[in-house]
Structure 1
């Protein structure tokens, strides 16, 4: 019974393979670059604020994409978790 649930939860609806992680898409690459630049550029200011907006906004866009187009329930839950976290920390 648990095995069937795990198969359903992690199996890709497009390929039929187990999918837990995927290569980053364009939005996630933008988030990674913005996060790395923000880490390198820790001083407050306009550039740092812009990088924060790109980072957080990109995570929200990525999370929404996963919620609506994720290949399996795991990826959709991952997107929902990231979205909930981002919204909670923004408010």
Structure 2
């Protein structure tokens, strides 16, 4: 296989193109907490769900940044991580 820019960015070690994967545990928990936040929109439960959602998405982004299967996934992790931090700085 040629060592092109496309191959370096989008292919994993086995040569497969990887842009999306099945959600892992942090991503599943983030989705569940985010959906529950829509139901419980006020109070302490909402605050706890917000904390869980932020923490699990932060964990997912951190794992992608340092353990992503290709440069695309690592860049995606970096973008989400920067977006999360920027959303809390406001």
TM over 0.5: yes
Matched position secondary structure for 2:77: helix
1:83 equivalenced with 2:81 (yes/no): yes
Alignment of structure 1 residues 21-36 onto 2, 5 Å = 21-36=20-35
Could you state the TM-score of these two structures normalised by the residue count of structure 2?
0.91
**Whole-angstrom distance in 2 between the partners of 1:66 and 1:35:** 20
For structure 1, the 5+ residue unaligned runs are none
Tell me the distance in 1 between the aligned counterparts of 2:81 and 2:69.
17
Q: Structure 2, unaligned stretches of length 5 or more?
A: none
Aligned residues: 87
The alignment's TM-score, normalised by the length of structure 1, stands at 0.90
**Post-superposition shift, 1:90?**
0.8
2: CA distance between counterparts of 1:35 and 1:59? 10
The Cα RMSD (Å) is 1.3
Q: Per the alignment, in what secondary structure is the counterpart of residue 21 of structure 1?
A: coil
User: Partner of 2:40 in structure 1?
Assistant: 41
Cα deviation for residue 22 of structure 1 reads: 0.4
